[in-house]
Amino acid sequence: MLRQIAALPVRANADGTIDVFLVTSRGSGRWIIPKGNPISGLSPPDVAAREAREEAGLVGQVRQRRLGSFEFHRLRVSGETCLVDVYPMHVEKQLRDFDEKRQRTVRLCNMETALSIVCSRALAGLIEQYGAEIASQRSAVGT
């Protein structure tokens, strides 16, 4: 089984909601999060940050704690299953130009839209889980 590392790029809004940045895969055009293969010498959060910058021009803070993992079947490589470790990323800015700008589309979505268009139900579950964690943290701070 292949292993990959991904960033779950989010932006917090003043009203307490979060938006999620999604990108299209290069092969099928499915909505995914930035991800890639482990890189020797880089920690998983550093790989997640690098992939987010290359694929979507996103810069920000990647959490050191893994949110979770999801499996998916790669469409371009028949029969291959990949396990993806996901690290939350709080986006500070989006660059105008980035490595894969001409190969991918980047979309900023509210939570409901992100959950409805991502390519994997397991990925949607992780996005929903992280949204709930953020909401819980905000309500704890507000009490």
Using alpha carbons only, what angle is made at residue 44 by residues 119 and 96, rounded to the nearest 5 degrees? Answer: 65
- CA distance to 112, 128, 136, per residue, from 30 (Å): 17, 19, 30
Its domain, for residue 53, covers 2-142
**How many domains does the chain contain in total?**
1
CATH number, residue 122? 3.90.79.10
- N residues, the chain: 143
Q: What pLDDT is recorded for position 142?
A: 62
Q: What pLDDT is recorded for position 134?
A: 87
Reference 89, options 68, 110, 109, 60; nearest CA is 60
Write the CB contacts of 20 (distance below 8 Å, at least 6 apart in sequence).
8, 9, 10, 108, 109, 110, 111, 114, 127
**Per-position pLDDT tens, the chain of length 143:** 889 999 999 998 888 789 999 999 987 889 999 999 999 999 999 999 999 999 999 999 999 999 999 998 776 656 688 999 999 999 999 999 999 999 999 999 999 999 999 989 999 999 999 999 988 887 776 65
